[in-house]
Amino acid sequence: MSSDVVWRRYHPISANFVGDYPEQGLMTCTFFGQCPKCIITPGELGEYQSFPRRHQSLAIDTYLLADREVCVFHAACRNAGLKPIYKPFWESLLLANIFVSITSDVLHQLLQGMMKHLIGWLVGIFGATEINAQCCAMLPNHKLTHFTKGITMLSCVSGHEHKKMCSILLGLIIDLPIPDRLDSTQLMHAVHALLDFLHLAQFQCHTSDTLDQLQGALSVFHNNKPIFTDLGAWEHSNIPKLHSLMHYVSLIRLFGTTDNYNTEQSERLHIDFAKDAYRVTNWKDMYSQMTAWLECHKRILLYVTSIIHGQHKDLQQPQTRRIPEPLCIPTQTIKMALKPTKSVTFDDLASDYSAVDFQDALANFLACINNPGVSTYTIHRQAEDMLILFHAVPVFHIIKFTKRGHSGESEISNSVHAWPEVVDLHTRTTLAWFDTVIIHQDSPQDQGNKGTSNNLFSKLEV
């Protein structure tokens, strides 16, 4: 029944099928090691060339032989490269082509597929110890995931974790020597091209130029992939997920960007509908408990939605023309830990933190606080006669800057790190990190404690 209270009969059309490789093979009745979209032998999966597409009409003609003798039917399916399935569900669907409707899958084909293979190949070439040491030596950044114990020790790696690994993968191997003192240019080109293909395939808007770049990145990878065989990282390139990359450009032209049919969104529902629901059960007769828990949460969600809708309806007022407000740049605030990292003496500040003039800067700062608005010459004279009665100060190793996001919540926009030299017991390397900070300094016309404090704080940071 539609909104005009009229009953209509709908005939949905199967436009595309979203699933991983085993599910694609199950839907298209193809064997493992074959492509569900084109006719190709298992030994040609690593070739960079086009192959003839599968036709549903020929497959239907083959499956119409199911009513005849079993031996004839099995022989026809074997010749066609199809599984002997009796009456597949798509045989009677109108305006549908199961072989065309198979879509690409960034999660299983790229993140959990080729990127997982790529990391394994690089670990086989450079060694797990070297790759993990490069991860530990990576400089901290709030936009990158810092794998403190390396990436080879992880198990059950998710697609999100593989995505974080890919953001640092090229930096881990850029300066590492490959075995037998071979030229690493071909290896870097192959890794760079595959990472480019991953990021280009996830674009939410494509043009003819980006699609050409996507196909070009795949071409560069195939031209340089023999380096993995030469270094003994893999024996052959007959990987179904590698061949699936050949169809990305045509599928994007046909069905749109890959975020429309990526299983990453549906796989996320496994956590909400299966894992979270299973944790609240007592592991006895869990299906009925999970169903009841999900039904309860659904009703609560609908009730909350109705309340919010009613509140918005009551607050609706006639729209009046208002002068647009000027663009407001979000202000950043400093977020620090409640307790300092440790207490450091003035001598240790000079030796470990390279803060040689800290006592002089501290004296100037205290003079500004005690005598606001005085001249710089007076501040220096009073700082020279100031007696500091303590010999240690608390030190914070991390300072975070936060700002208000679009949702109104505070989000971290940047981080400042200051770590003295320490010896890593695992890698036996000396690590130290000091960020360079540029602080906005108030103009000389600003008066009061605020301008003087910012002035001396900038000196203190330098």
pLDDT band, residue 309 (cuts 50/70/90): confident
Phi, then psi, of 251 in degrees rounded to 5: -70, -35
- Per-residue confidence (pLDDT) for residue 83, from 0 to 100: 93
Residue 458 tokens read as: 């900038």
Contact 139, 286 (CB under 8 A): no
Give the number of C-alpha atoms closer than 13 A to the C-alpha of residue 164, restricted to the C-beta side. Answer: 16
> Is a pLDDT exceeding 80 seen at residue 62?
yes
- Per-residue confidence (pLDDT) for residue 318, from 0 to 100: 53
Report residue 453 CA to chain centroid gap: 40
> Is a pLDDT exceeding 70 seen at residue 450?
no
The DSSP secondary structure of 35-80, one letter per residue, reads: -SSB---GGGTT--S--PBP-HHHHHHHHGGGGS-HHHHHHHHHHH
Contact 173, 134 (CB under 8 A): yes
- Per-residue confidence (pLDDT) for residue 431, from 0 to 100: 66
Q: Which residues, in sequence order, are bridge partners of residue 406?
A: none
pLDDT in tens, 254-267: 999 999 998 888 88
**Residue 420 carries which DSSP code?**
E
Helix (H, G, I), strand (E, B) or coil at 213: helix
> Is a pLDDT exceeding 70 seen at residue 440?
no
Helix (H, G, I), strand (E, B) or coil at 280: coil
CA nearest neighbour of 174 among 191, 152, 154: 191
Helix (H, G, I), strand (E, B) or coil at 412: strand
- Per-residue confidence (pLDDT) for residue 461, from 0 to 100: 38
pLDDT in tens, 182-239: 788 999 999 999 999 999 999 999 999 999 999 999 999 999 999 999 888 888 888 9
- Per-residue confidence (pLDDT) for residue 137, from 0 to 100: 85
- Per-residue confidence (pLDDT) for residue 163, from 0 to 100: 92
> Is a pLDDT exceeding 70 seen at residue 452?
no
- Per-residue confidence (pLDDT) for residue 323, from 0 to 100: 52
Residue at 188: amino acid letter = M
- Per-residue confidence (pLDDT) for residue 314, from 0 to 100: 63
- Per-residue confidence (pLDDT) for residue 449, from 0 to 100: 43
Give the CA radius of gyration of the chain.
32
Output 209 or 269, whichever has higher pLDDT. 209
Domain residue spans of the chain: 21-101, 106-263, 286-311, 333-461
pLDDT in tens, 373-386: 888 888 888 888 88
What CA–CA distance (Å, rounded) separates 157 from 115? 11
If residue 288 lies in a helix (H) or strand (E), which one and from where to where? helix 286-315
Contact 312, 363 (CB under 8 A): no
Burial of 101 (0-12, 13-18, 19+ CB in 10 A): buried
Residue 131 tokens read as: 């790759």
Helix (H, G, I), strand (E, B) or coil at 133: helix
Which whole-number Å values give the CA distances from 119 to 177, 192, 224, 351, in the listed order? Answer: 17, 13, 16, 40
Residues in the chain: 462
pLDDT in tens, 414-429: 788 887 877 766 656 6
- Per-residue confidence (pLDDT) for residue 455, from 0 to 100: 39
Contact 74, 80 (CB under 8 A): no
pLDDT in tens, 341-369: 888 898 888 888 878 888 888 888 888 88
pLDDT in tens, 136-185: 888 777 778 888 888 988 888 888 899 999 999 999 998 888 877 778 89
The mean pLDDT value of the chain amounts to 84
